[in-house]
Amino acid sequence: MAKPNVISKRDLLKCAKDCLVDRGIDKFTLRAVADTAGVTQGTVYYHFRTKEQLLLDIVQDICDTSWEELSRSNETLIKQAIESAKSRCSYDSFFHKLFFTLVASSFNHEKIRGQLGEIMMSENKALSERLASLWAESPIEGISLGTWGILINSMVDGLALQALLQKDFPVEETFEKLEQLFKELGNLLNKEAK
């Protein structure tokens, strides 16, 4: 078996992401990843035993990367989260092309589907926990902070999907309004606290 002396696992993962976006899931093979990375297929096998393992590692990596940005201070959480989401929201967004390619492929791969589901649940939970550090309670009675986490995550993914499908999607305006929505929700809480 080839030794990984030519490329690191991290660099190979980046090449695999590029390959997946460029070729699509149907033409995504360990051989194609090796070609993209300029290494032998044995090098790819050394790091990733199967295509499924590689896809699972890609899923985990993109989600870990996106959450690193939100692990900073609470005082600008909403603004940071919106800026982060907006920066990846475009017609040519590599991040979301990759993410939605993985989502589509997961419908035929139960293990990938399960891992994506777990990642989504952990994102929802993390969002809810971050909101709890900002809001003592939900700004709207009957909507739990857990539900807010799910709703926010869904809104961001939905906006990304629309931007991928519409060249003229109004990203700036939409994210300005999303930020305004969260400011108004915060104002609701402040009024009720007084």
Q: Where are the domains of the chain?
A: 1-49, 52-193
Q: CA 99, CA 79: separation in Å to the nearest integer?
A: 23
Give the pLDDT confidence of 106-132 residue by residue, as tens digits.
Answer: 898 888 888 889 888 988 888 888 888
Enter the CATH code of domain 1-49.
1.10.10.60
Joined together, the tokens standing for residue 74 give 């609470």
Superfamily of domain 52-193: Tetracycline Repressor, domain 2 (1.10.357.10)
pTM of the model: 0.77
Asked whether the domain spanning 52-193 has the same topology as the one spanning 1-49, the reply is no
How confident is the model at residue 1, as a pLDDT?
45
How confident is the model at residue 101, as a pLDDT?
85
Interior CA angle at 116 toward 22 and 98, to 5°? 15
How confident is the model at residue 160, as a pLDDT?
94
Question: H helices within the chain, ranges in order?
Answer: 9-23, 30-37, 41-47, 51-68, 77-87, 94-106, 110-134, 145-165, 171-193
How confident is the model at residue 73, as a pLDDT?
46
Give the pLDDT confidence of 60-86 residue by residue, as tens digits.
Answer: 887 777 666 556 545 466 777 788 888
Give the pLDDT confidence of 7-28 residue by residue, as tens digits.
Answer: 999 999 999 999 988 998 889 9
Query: Residue 43 in contact with residue 7, Cβ under 8 Å?
Result: yes
pLDDT at residue 183 tops 90: no
pLDDT at residue 90 tops 90: yes
pLDDT at residue 91 tops 90: yes
C-alpha count within 13 angstroms, C-beta hemisphere, residue 56 = 16
Which residue carries 């990642």 as its tokens? 119
